[in-house]
Amino acid sequence: MTRRTVYLAVYDTYADWETGHTTAHLAQHGFTVRTVGPTTDPVTSMGGLTVRPDLALAELRPEDGALLILPGAGLWDAGDELAPFARAARTCLDAGVPVAAICGATAGLAREGLLDERAHTSAVSFYLAATGYGGGKHYVDADAVTDHGRAGRDGAGSGGAGSGGALVTAGPTEPVAFAREILALLGVFEGEKLDAWYRLFHDSDASAYEVLQG
């Protein structure tokens, strides 16, 4: 992975706690996190934080990024205002760029048809079923799921609908597992260190700290 820019979508009511572990540890390991809003006007998170996006969604260039992260938000279930972000996810995946979605953003991807043929998870299966999507048979009851796309299944290269970038999904109670999948996907940690990182931040296992420092 040579591209080191990670795009974090931000929009009114976005769930600021869901991506904190992810962005903090990516930033500490050489990635640049750039926020992407509907425009460059300030947005307000669910927790009342005001963020001025680094760039507008229309300026997003998938080929320049290593990952697009979509946090949950009340707006995902309140209409179509965030649908352009789901369409941007499709563009990224088709270009071979990974996408990571958590909480309500998974419903946005479901409505866009991006979960119909990929392994995925969310808060609960019936939450996604309510969108009317066609991917119920691919739902996995897990804390977080990474689907590596066609390239991960049969070795095919990227390019073409549904063939490219990996897709990470998680429910709203699993920000640490969400981060674990992303850190693995981008090569920040692997194997024993990845497991230790998860045990430290999810289970407060102090013994894992020594493994991370080794």
160 within 8 A of 96, measured Cβ to Cβ: no
User: Helix, strand or coil for residue 211?
Assistant: helix
User: Helix, strand or coil for residue 170?
Assistant: strand
DSSP H or E stretch at residue 147: strand 144-147
Distance of CA 89 to the CA centre of its chain: 10
Specify the DSSP class assigned to residue 64. Answer: G
Pairwise CA distance, residues 151 & 166, whole Å = 9
> Which residues of the chain are under the pLDDT cut of 50?
1, 152-163
- Nearest in space to 108 (alpha carbons), one of 53, 148, 68: 68
198 within 8 A of 176, measured Cβ to Cβ: yes
Looking at 10, 69, 101, 103, which residue is catalytic?
Answer: 103
DSSP characters for 121-174? Answer: --S-HHHHHTTT-S-GGGB--SSEEEE-HHHHHH---S-STTTSS-EEEE-TT-
Q: What pLDDT, on the 0 to 100 scale, is given for residue 157? A: 36
Q: What pLDDT, on the 0 to 100 scale, is given for residue 2? A: 54
Q: What pLDDT, on the 0 to 100 scale, is given for residue 150? A: 62
Distance of CA 205 to the CA centre of its chain: 25
Any catalytic annotation for residue 92? no
